[in-house]
Structure 1
Amino acid sequence: MPLSTRNIPDRTTIWNFENRIGVGGVTAIFNKLDRQIRAHGLEARAEQIVDATLVPAPKQHFTRVEKEVLEQDAMPAGWKPAKRRQKDVDASWTKKHGKSYHGYKFTVSVDRKH
C-alpha cells in the first residue's frame, strides 16, 4: 500500500513531538528501535550513507528464442562476434518510483568506520 502524503507529519509536528518527549524520550525510542533491529539479525550503523544509482543502457530487442537461451546464461548460436559485441546481455529492468528503467543499478554503502 503506497504511503499517502497526508499520513506524513510536517516538520512542525515532529519538532513539537521532539520537544515534548525530550532527549530522554528520543533516546528511549531509538534504543527500543535498535533492539528490534538487532533481534532480526540486522545492524544499524552510525553515520551511514547509501546511494543507489541507475545507469541507463540501450534497450535490447531479443526474439523469444534468444531470451530463452540468454536466461540459461548461454549465447544464441546464430550470433556472430560483431553482433555479440553490440548486445548488452547483462543489463536488466528495474523500477524506481513506479517507472521502469533498463540498465544497471549500482548501490554504494559507506559508514564512518568502513
Structure 2
Amino acid sequence: MAKNFIQPGNVLTIPAPAAVLSGGVVVAGDIKGIAQGDAATGAPVDVATAGVWSLPKIAANAFALGAKVYWAAGTGLATSTASGNTLLGVAVEAAPADSASVKVRLSGF
C-alpha cells in the first residue's frame, strides 16, 4: 500500500452541516451520504458515501430502474426533479408514484 493512502472513503467523519438523525441524508458541498448516527450541527457525524439505501420520496414521483434520484432539502424527500435539488444517485429498482420510498445507490462523488 502506498504511504500516502488514508482510507477507503466509504464512510467519512465530517462536521454535520445541519442537525441530522441516523439514516438521514447529509449534503456537505459535494459530499453526499447517509448519517450513521445522530448529530447536532457542527458535531462529528459518520457519513456513508456508498451503498444502496431506502429513502423516503415525494409521493407523486415515480422512478424507473436506473433513473437519477435527487434530494429536495426543503422537503427532506427524494425527488425526480433536478432543478434546485442535489443528485444523490440512481434508483436500483422501479418505485411507482404511490410508493413511500425509493432504493438509491449513492453516486459517491
| TM-score interval for Structure 1 and Structure 2 normalised by the shorter chain | under 0.3
Larger radius of gyration, structure 1 or 2?
Answer: 1
| Greater percentage in helix | 1
TM-score (norm 1): 0.21
| Greater percentage in strand | 2
TM-score (norm 2): 0.22
